[in-house]
Structure 1
Amino acid sequence: MNLTTEKLFEIAQYSFVRMDGAWFMALARKHGIETAWEIDVDAWSQFSYVFGKKIRKDIITNPVWPQSFLDTLEIFSKVLKIEGRKVSVESDKIIVQVTDCETQKAIAKAGIADCGIVTVQAYQGIIKGLFGKEMGVNVQHTKNLNQGDDCCEVIIFPEN
């Protein structure tokens, strides 16, 4: 069987999101939803930090704010199949709006909660992995598709 790289990547995207969901649901069944959310936040914090470090080591060896974060976010979004994404930079703020996200769809289908806190932790982790743990940023999840908003919106800005 000969699969194209594109087809393998599509299968990997699907598998990553489904494994994340299956792991979360199994944990929630065994230990309760609150424990599952706490551990999920910890897992995404660690994963995103390591992801940011990997990008710094192999791709963006001398990161510059904000462009290197935007480039890393593009990679992260492709890996996780976060589509329908609009990113804008206004003064010192980065605004990310997402209308099509595989993880959000899976959470909505399962009817378990929303992914806002994990989104905040993931963006913070990427930034700390890419720029170093001392990089201070504020990440605010201001809109949420799972709560009836027109998009998921995250606003990111440096701490002063």
Structure 2
Amino acid sequence: MKETEDKGYRQIQDLNNDDLARLILNMSQRMAIHSTLWFRETEHQLGMKRALDMLEEVNAKYNRLEMERLGKVLGFEVTDGIPRPLLDMPVEKLAELAGEMGKNWLAMDGIWFQAIENTYGMNDAKRCNDSCWNRFSQVEGRMIKSFLGLPERAGLEGLKRALAFRMYARLNKQSIIDESPNSIVFQMNDCRVQSARKRKGLADYPCKSAGLVEYSRFAWEIDDRIHTECVGCPPDEHPEDWFCAWRFTLSE
């Protein structure tokens, strides 16, 4: 554990303004981790599908409650669980905010990876990374599916729509080729992580092991009839116009 200076505080009332502000951010982090642990334990005890069902129920109730309480303290109105300042923001600014949230998410993912790699090595970092993507892809798939109002088996058209709403979507350049009536090919034409490595003169990061679970689990959550095949992904050789590509086939 990282050592920090003991400031001698014994109760919240002792905190100065700066430290009280830091405590609020610390509490927010604890809440996020507590919710994650609830989800993880529900998955362990009841299975992923039931855990995703419970996540939808919890989010619907808690998000509104959280915003209403924060609104009372911070002085903003809440409409249907959404802060009024967000609703009044120009669409261009909201799109910019969505992009910055995506960047923060990717930075968080990378910081976790590097923290484990620097302490325990690449092998443990990749093991943790791949297991994390196995779960996150299912969660993200369900949340996007619910947000878009897609049916239980949304097919390839549903998958195409869902792929456009992933956290990656505003960070990377991607395209989809309609290969046949029952298959599509998704290409990651520009990857923020791999492009950064390329600019530094580094080899591609070998992300295939994570991609195999990431894309297959995401597709299954959209429609359990969809089969995922890797066309190519580092460390595989790939053409200049994409870093990775994935074929999704709908089996009737």
TM-score after normalising by structure 2: 0.53
CA offsets 1:34-90 (integer angstroms, 9 cap, x no match): 11111101111111100111122232331421100110011116546121x221121
| Offset at residue 138 of structure 1 (A) | 2.9
Which structure is larger by alpha-carbon Rg, 1 or 2? 2
CA displacement, residues 106-140 of structure 1 (integer Å, 9 cap, x when unaligned): 555576832222222211121222235xx451321
Aligned pair in 2 of structure 1 residues 146, 19: CA closer, same or farther (>3 Å)? farther
* Cα distance in 1 for residues equivalent to 2:124 and 2:168: 29
Counting aligned pairs with the same residue, the percent is 18
Select which of 8, 12, 25 maps to 2:101: 12
- Which amino acid is 1:76 matched to? R
- Asked if 1:41 corresponds to 2:133, the answer is no
What TM-score, normalized by structure 1, do the two folds share? 0.80
Distance in structure 1 (CA, Å) of the matches to 2:197 and 2:132: 17
Quote the Cα distance in structure 2 between the aligned partners of 1:136 and 1:21.
Answer: 29
Provide structure 2 residue ranges, at least 5 long, that are not aligned to the other structure.
Answer: 1-88
Equivalent AA in structure 2 for residue 54 of structure 1: M
**1:67 is aligned to 2:123:** no
Please list, as runs of the form range in 1=range in 2, the aligned pairs for 1:19-58 lying within 5 A after superposition: 19-58=108-147
Distance 2:145 2:238 in 1: 36
Number of aligned positions between the proteins: 156
In structure 1, the gaps of 5 or more residues are none
Letter in 2 for 1:139: E
Higher share of residues assigned strand = 1
Residues 37 and 106 of structure 1, relative CA distance in 2, 3 Å threshold: farther
With a CA cutoff of 8 Å and minimum separation of 6, indicate the structure with the bigger relative contact order: 1
User: Could you tell me which of 222, 238, 248 is aligned with 1:130?
Assistant: 222
Aligned-pair Cα RMSD in Å: 2.8
User: Matches of 2:144 and 2:165 in 1, distance apart?
Assistant: 9
